[in-house]
Structure 1
Amino acid sequence: MTSIGASTPSPSRSGRASRGRRCTTPFTTMRQARLEIFQWLTYYNTTRRHSALNYLSPAEFEQRHQRERRITLAA
């Protein structure tokens, strides 16, 4: 028999609390919010390593794909 709440995953086990921006203070302007969101999206879409891409960044994955494609087309 388990106690109430024993099956509820904690944020440290689910990983949900550790992802994303830690917003300790609200954005003061809409411009600041847009800039930070743009910076995060740029990081996420170009630099961050993705498990779906075999832990390569999207930029690295694209470079590798283009290189392999050139080799295939040349053969």
Structure 2
Amino acid sequence: MVAESVNRKTSAKEIAVYEICNAMSQLETVKGLSTMDNLAQRRAAQVRWLKIAMENMEAALDGNAETRQICFAKLMDT
């Protein structure tokens, strides 16, 4: 009877430890997904910025010589 009681307590402790480890693992997974989401959002923002910059550059190159020179100077500064 005592051995059975000890086994039940050990099993309960093992289950509790397993559940805690499992919960911690799931939390790390969620953190990783959140980080990936943030990275994807940053990349999307960079792509949007680059698209706008390219459109502005195209418009400037279609403009007059002075505008082209300004655009070229700004491009060389970056």
**Which structure's CA Rg is the greater one?**
2
TM-score (norm 2): 0.28
The structure richer in helix per residue is 2
TM-score (norm 1): 0.29
